[in-house]
Structure 1
Amino acid sequence: MSLEKSLLSGSCIDYRVPCTRKEGRLCDIFRHLPVWNEFFWQVHLELQELSPGELSLVNTYDKRIGHPRFHMTQQVHEKTATLLCHLLTHHHCVVSVDLTSYILKTNIEVICDALCKSASLRKLELSLWHFTTNLSLSFTAALSQLNQLQVFDCSDVLFDHAFSEGLSKFLASTRSLTTLYMSNYHIKHMDAALIIQGLKRNETITTLAITGSLITDTPECSVMLSEYLSCNQTLRVLSVHWASSHNKLHPIIGALCHNGTIFELNLIHCGLYIEYFKLITGMLRQNQTLRSFHMIDCTIYEHDSDPHCWKPEFRSESSLISLWLMMLAENKALKELTLDLRWIKPDECGSLFKALASNTSLEKVTIDTFNNMDVVHICQALRDTGVPERFFVGKHHLLEDTAAALPECKELSCICVEYWFPLELEPLHTTLCVLPTCDHVKSLSLKMDAVMFKGNVGSLVAKYITNTTALRELRLAIIFETLHGADQTVCDWYAVERPERTLLQALSLNKGIRRLSLKGLCITEAEAQMLVDTLQSSRTICHFSFYPKRECLTSVIPLIRKLSANVSSNYMLLGMRTLYHKQRRGDTFTVADVVRRNNSLVTRAADFVMGTRHRYCGAAAELVQFNPGLVEKVQELASVDETVAASRIESSLKSFTELDDFMCLAGVVKYSVTCPRRDDGQKQLVDLNRDCWLYIRQFLKVGDILDPK
């Protein structure tokens, strides 16, 4: 029997129906995705549209709405494994799969067999922390047969020796893999050596992400890794994460002095010591092929020998500015550069930025991190370059001494404001008073003590939210516990002017916020309805997260219940995060499924704007044409600014305004509409003048035309 009944709705699914995907036509499985996802939801997986007409089975644990804790019986594991195996073996529309311990633990043999039979799998992500020898051998044996696999992500895998050995053999033999994300966890020296050996024999990987775990402290591994990076001819993008121990980056930076193929290097959450800056500038002087170099969220150590002696900025007498100036004078290859400037002295900003501006090859410079006290000097130095449009400043943590200068620092678009103690009430008040004059601030993270929120400050926050049209992202967190101890504030549920209610009223009037995060609030059921009404009526809010105060977790229940009632009419919501707290599973799933649907529509619509003229992509463009997420997606795909992206969307929608264009896209006719003349002389569709057709077109969408069978 191939019919299975779902857990929540009781709907049946015939999982043995084959794939029906054709050029320009979706597989029939797309019409039944909600039912399929009811099964996969139990093991924290979800079928999502990766690109138009292509599906990805994605691990959603802790990525969207909190999951209820299902009792994962043997029957549940077997049922979901059966569905997964059928997808892999019979649906060539499935191109990407995340495999987790929830689904692998009891079904490794059948799933590995299905992986080997898949003819379309291009991306595989593995999340597994407890290997058995049998599991490692089975999985790596299957891995070696995935001849079409292009992306393998094992960043969430705790390697054992058998897995490392199998991975090494796969890397040496694969002829399809182009992207590899290595484990974030500790790798033993012997296993790291095996993996590097596999990388040295690989001839296909162009994008590689590694962590400090692969860069062991043994000379053998350091030499092997350095040799691999020095001599490799295929690698184009290298990302290094969490390399914080001393000497971790030496073999990498040194090797890039001799590499002539890598175009992009990213150092993310790495520990940077004094000599690293000397190595980096030296490497950039010598390497004339690197196009992008980024230092993101790194930590600077002032003393080489003591990794625990960290200071937020490097103020050594032997300044590094001369090294950077020499590099910028000699390097003519870099196009993008992301800098951590906590090492620089305020009076050196001007000379550095002028050198950056004078480098004709540099198109984009991002100041990721800097000393917050130096913000005025940095912004002034950027303006003095004459080309401030080439510079982008990262998040600035506003300080008591810099709040008043915010209006003049128009280079700042993302700020963080944190005031937790009563003595900080005055600078918080100053900040909230100047914010309305700062239209350059697009993203605001605001954290404050609950006592402050209940006073005049809450009213100022609400007033700012009501009136601002510039703000695109708001993260508001109310803190009930400070270093002074737990705040014993009790929610007054019956107060007429509750600050929570005032805040929600302000949000309902805002016309610009796209990403909204609320944390630490206590809301009543009526206020939950206010929040739902705002989400349903908003033409801008795409991403929303809600984490109430610990004592008010029950407020999630009415929020999700009320939102699920009419959320199917919402074509804006692209992200929803909250915790699971006793709300009905069906309500939670309903909201999550609408989020999935909307993301699919944006994906299709963006493809339509980029030139794909499939009927279902045009139908999606009509449904989500006003979604800010579509603008962001087009910006990403076309590498254009917001204005150009919006213009392209408008033009693409106008392209099927006329009768013939509309009917062609809808699949009604191939070229143009023609109608044989009627004997009674009555007017037909082609007899309508343009004004009449455009009037009808207001009420007619591509999706209204039935799909021919």
Structure 2
Amino acid sequence: MEAIQDLSAEHEQPTVAASADVVDDMTSFFGGQEELRCTSDKPTAFNDNRSCPINDVLPICNELLFDICMELREKRGGLLSLVCFPTDEPKRIPPRNVDCQRSKKSLLWLLRTHGCIEKLKLRCNWMTVHSCILLELTEYSRLKRLKVDCPCGDTVKRNIVTLLSRLVHLEELHVYVSEKSDILVAAISALLRNTACLTSLVFRAHSENQLSQTFIHALATNSTLEYLEILGKWDTAEPPGPFWSYVKSNELLSKLYLFGEELDHEGSLLEEALVCNYHISTLYIHKVCGGERTVNVLTRILAECISLKNLTLGDSRDEFNIISEAALNGCMNVLVVNNTLEELELSYSLWHPTNWITFLAFLPNNKHLKTLEVTSSFYPDYKMYLPVLEALQQTNSPGRISFGCYMPTTVELDLLRFRAFSGVCIEGALKEKVDTLQSLLTLNHLTSVVIDSRECDQQLFDCMAKYIKEKTVLRGIILFISNTAGDAPAACWEPLFESLSSNTSIRYLRIIVRGHFSYAGHLARAVGRSRSITQMFYEEYRPEWDPSGFLSPLSRELDENYNLLEVSLSNTAKMDAETTCCWFKVREVSRRNSGLVKRAGAAIQSPTLDWYAANALEKVSRRPVLVRELAEKEGLAVDEVAKMLRSRLVSVDGMNDFMRLTGVVKKAVMCAPPVDGCNFQIQDLNVDCWRLVRRYLSFDDVKRCPVAKPDDPMAE
């Protein structure tokens, strides 16, 4: 974000009058294509489920926006989101003033002419410099989602307040406030009182700020919210009674996330409010007191919250307290008869290990609960786990209960055989790491692994490569590389890179190098050639390191890569102009791939298909990793999503549909009379022949062009 911080206010705050010709300039820039406008009388993204024509030039738009650290991304239904780059973005050479002005003009043009921008995601540093631009948002805007990290500064806050008052279609609002801001709280309160659309609110105030009574009363009068996530100060002598009254009587709220300290303390009214609400299906409580106080609250929630499907209780203030037999049995008895709860997440410190043994013994009596996740936010004493895991083994509940990632100083393989952990951290002495990797080859339940590679040892590298190559359930890898390991011979690294590129299950890869990594290019090529990795994070742990050795080869490998959805570098990286171009290309590939998944998700439910939707369906259906990604987003089984994709593609599988969607013909293929004695023409291909052609012909292989004019005899 250095590019933002280095811009002077005098250069970055042009008047609206100075930009009055923006729309004409940008329309001219795109070749005078009036179709790129998306105004109130031609809301292209809302017409017959067709995507806005600007989707054809998103790479150009993003190149124009790049110098002010913003980009357009596709959303479902042909809509667009306009997002700031992450705050941990790599540093780059500050752009020239003329380039910044061009970027700002592009942003103004988009805000003034495109009502199909459905989401804005704005970060602190960007807001400090550019918040006044938001006031140019068209009055016809269909903006439904706004996410703001709010910085200091009265001007910025006033601009946000003005923006909020204009967003009459807003459905989701995320606001993160770093300091007390009465003007923002008042604006959000007014929105809550007056909105007819807002269904989701995330409001994170500073932890020292008591929730204002104005805000709480506005919540109480709201009749639209279904999702509420809130952070504030709750531990005052007089608890915010009106808020609990709101929770108690609300009949629409279905998801409630509460962040704060010890929210279930005596006198907090949390318990009474929750048990009187019969509509909440998801409840998250960040921090609890622990001990019998929390167990009693948990018991009442399980017994009386009749719609609850997902429950999370976070860390405990009082850890590993021994719970009385009466209190624990009371909790277990109501859990056994509970037939609505599907997912339960509890902290391991909620009660003593002996209580866990009792709890796990009861658990098989509840047939409805699908998953129990037991979490730890620290390195626990794993020796205390052994009797607990032995009790778990007796429950015969494989896959139903998880204790998260196993992160000991020394791996105890006896604990891993219980199949309770979904991940493992491998560190320590060289021999221990080699032995652990060899032993893990016999286990097929671990989905993530963290490996600390400090040594230049051929056997260790061979073990890592073999483990990665053979594990078909492995989803994530984090690899720490020391200077010594980074300087290992190529013979050590080549098998490892080959394993990374050939593995078909790995989706998340994070590489953290302590110093310079001479094999960064080899790693980049392995990632680019992988057909399963969707997320990649790369960092060299040193100040202002040069990422060109990684980004340059990666950018050259991505033309045919449709699985990479996210690439991140640490903010300690510093790029020159050439590397910045490579970084832009990498970002655009991930944007394109993410857009295909979102577009395909909308297309499987759309009654009609255009070229954008058909191309997305085709690209996603041919790549298992994208089918899996879409299934997770839709909350459906992979096989079911694959079937839905095939079904939608069948509807446009014929020659006439293909030619029509690609713009070759208007309605159907009709050839001119044959010449030179050639009697066989494309319209004569039967179904089987056309299907054979389509194996090698995709929707995006045809250069799209305007369809023939209606008076053209070949227009049919």
CA deviations on 1:210-242 (whole Å, 9 max, x unpaired) are 11x2535251x5212211211223211101235
Q: SS of the residue aligned with 1:553?
A: coil
Q: Is the counterpart of residue 468 in structure 1 residue 471 in structure 2?
A: yes
For the aligned residues, what is the CA RMSD? 3.7
Match of 1:590, as an amino acid?
A: K
Q: SS of the residue aligned with 1:210?
A: strand
CA distance in 2, matches of 1:271, 1:477: 36
Corresponding residue number in structure 1 for 2:111: 88
Q: Kindly tell me: are residues 13 and 369 of structure 1, through their superposed partners in 2, closer, same or farther at Cα, counting changes over 3 Å?
A: farther
CA distance in 2, matches of 1:72, 1:380: 65
Q: Kindly tell me: are residues 444 and 505 of structure 1, through their superposed partners in 2, closer, same or farther at Cα, counting changes over 3 Å?
A: same
Corresponding residue number in structure 1 for 2:423: 415
CA distance in 1, matches of 2:78, 2:197: 22
Which residues in structure 2 correspond to 1:570-609 (within 5 Å)? 570-579=561-570, 580-583=573-576, 584-609=579-604
Q: SS of the residue aligned with 1:517?
A: strand
Corresponding residue number in structure 2 for 1:339: 346
C-alpha displacement of 1:498: 6.5
Q: Is the counterpart of residue 615 in structure 1 residue 587 in structure 2?
A: no
CA deviations on 1:1-32 (whole Å, 9 max, x unpaired) are 548999xxxx8798995224442433232222
Matching residue within 485, 495, 500 for 1:507: 500
Q: Is the counterpart of residue 301 in structure 1 residue 324 in structure 2?
A: no
Corresponding residue number in structure 2 for 1:305: none
CA distance in 2, matches of 1:108, 1:59: 12
Match of 2:54, as an amino acid?
A: I
Further displaced range: 17-26 or 178-187:
17-26
Which residues in structure 2 correspond to 1:523-542 (within 5 Å)? 527-542=519-534
Q: Is the counterpart of residue 700 in structure 1 residue 697 in structure 2?
A: yes
CA distance in 1, matches of 2:242, 2:440: 53
CA distance in 2, matches of 1:111, 1:401: 53
Q: Is the counterpart of residue 365 in structure 1 residue 390 in structure 2?
A: no
C-alpha displacement of 1:270: 6.0
Further displaced range: 118-127 or 683-692:
683-692
CA deviations on 1:646-681 (whole Å, 9 max, x unpaired) are 454455555544545645665667887677986978
CA distance in 2, matches of 1:154, 1:434: 47
- Counterpart contact for 1:403–1:427, Cα < 8 Å: no
C-alpha displacement of 1:159: 3.8
Q: SS of the residue aligned with 1:550?
A: coil
- Counterpart contact for 2:235–2:261, Cα < 8 Å: no
Q: Kindly tell me: are residues 319 and 4 of structure 1, through their superposed partners in 2, closer, same or farther at Cα, counting changes over 3 Å?
A: farther
Which residues in structure 2 correspond to 1:211-250 (within 5 Å)? 211=231, 213-215=232-234, 217-219=236-238, 221-243=239-261, 247=265, 250=268
- Counterpart contact for 1:365–1:391, Cα < 8 Å: yes
Further displaced range: 460-469 or 46-55:
460-469
Q: Is the counterpart of residue 258 in structure 1 residue 281 in structure 2?
A: no
Q: Is the counterpart of residue 431 in structure 1 residue 440 in structure 2?
A: no
CA distance in 2, matches of 1:77, 1:358: 64
Corresponding residue number in structure 2 for 1:41: 66
CA deviations on 1:528-555 (whole Å, 9 max, x unpaired) are 332232123222222211112428933x
Further displaced range: 693-702 or 609-618:
609-618
Structure 2: runs of 5+ lacking an equivalent:
1-20, 39-43, 708-716
CA distance in 1, matches of 2:288, 2:56: 45
Q: Kindly tell me: are residues 602 and 289 of structure 1, through their superposed partners in 2, closer, same or farther at Cα, counting changes over 3 Å?
A: closer
CA distance in 2, matches of 1:123, 1:33: 20
Which residues in structure 2 correspond to 1:12-411 (within 5 Å)? 18-19=37-38, 20-21=44-45, 22-62=47-87, 66-68=90-92, 70=94, 80-105=103-128, 108-109=131-132, 111-112=134-135, 114-115=136-137, 117-132=139-154, 134-156=155-177, 158-186=179-207, 188-189=209-210, 192-211=212-231, 213-215=232-234, 217-219=236-238, 221-243=239-261, 247=265, 250-268=268-286, 272=290, 274-295=292-313, 298-302=314-318, 311=319, 313-315=320-322, 321-346=328-353, 348-349=355-356, 351-353=358-360, 355-369=362-376, 372-373=382-383, 381-382=391-392, 384-385=394-395, 388=398, 390-398=400-408, 400=410, 402-406=412-416, 408-411=417-420
Further displaced range: 503-512 or 668-677:
668-677
Q: Kindly tell me: are residues 209 and 286 of structure 1, through their superposed partners in 2, closer, same or farther at Cα, counting changes over 3 Å?
A: same
Count of equivalent residues: 668
Corresponding residue number in structure 2 for 1:562: 553
Q: Kindly tell me: are residues 611 and 349 of structure 1, through their superposed partners in 2, closer, same or farther at Cα, counting changes over 3 Å?
A: farther
Corresponding residue number in structure 1 for 2:16: none
CA distance in 1, matches of 2:383, 2:705: 61
C-alpha displacement of 1:695: 2.5
Q: SS of the residue aligned with 2:121?
A: strand
CA distance in 2, matches of 1:508, 1:638: 27
Report sequence identity in percent: 22
CA distance in 2, matches of 1:582, 1:103: 20
CA distance in 2, matches of 1:681, 1:401: 74
- Counterpart contact for 1:4–1:12, Cα < 8 Å: no
Q: Kindly tell me: are residues 657 and 378 of structure 1, through their superposed partners in 2, closer, same or farther at Cα, counting changes over 3 Å?
A: farther
- Counterpart contact for 1:404–1:434, Cα < 8 Å: no
CA deviations on 1:490-539 (whole Å, 9 max, x unpaired) are 6785x6456445533443443432221111266665x3332232123222
C-alpha displacement of 1:689: 3.4
Matching residue within 627, 646, 655 for 1:631: 627
CA distance in 1, matches of 2:59, 2:203: 33
Matching residue within 509, 512, 522 for 1:519: 512
- Counterpart contact for 1:54–1:95, Cα < 8 Å: yes
CA distance in 2, matches of 1:84, 1:498: 50
Corresponding residue number in structure 2 for 1:308: none
CA distance in 2, matches of 1:15, 1:316: 71
CA deviations on 1:50-105 (whole Å, 9 max, x unpaired) are 21411001122246x624253696x7776555433432332121111123444443
Q: Kindly tell me: are residues 271 and 66 of structure 1, through their superposed partners in 2, closer, same or farther at Cα, counting changes over 3 Å?
A: farther
Q: SS of the residue aligned with 2:185?
A: helix
C-alpha displacement of 1:33: 1.8
C-alpha displacement of 1:609: 4.1
- Counterpart contact for 2:264–2:271, Cα < 8 Å: no
CA distance in 2, matches of 1:497, 1:576: 25
CA deviations on 1:316-360 (whole Å, 9 max, x unpaired) are 566853232132145343233223343455555565345433335
Q: SS of the residue aligned with 2:617?
A: helix
CA distance in 1, matches of 2:133, 2:649: 46
Q: Kindly tell me: are residues 428 and 109 of structure 1, through their superposed partners in 2, closer, same or farther at Cα, counting changes over 3 Å?
A: closer
Corresponding residue number in structure 1 for 2:714: none
- Counterpart contact for 1:254–1:283, Cα < 8 Å: no
CA distance in 1, matches of 2:268, 2:180: 24
- Counterpart contact for 1:217–1:248, Cα < 8 Å: no
C-alpha displacement of 1:48: 0.7
Q: SS of the residue aligned with 2:247?
A: helix
C-alpha displacement of 1:265: 0.6
- Counterpart contact for 2:22–2:108, Cα < 8 Å: no
Structure 1: runs of 5+ lacking an equivalent:
303-310, 481-488
Match of 1:94, as an amino acid?
A: I
C-alpha displacement of 1:560: 0.9
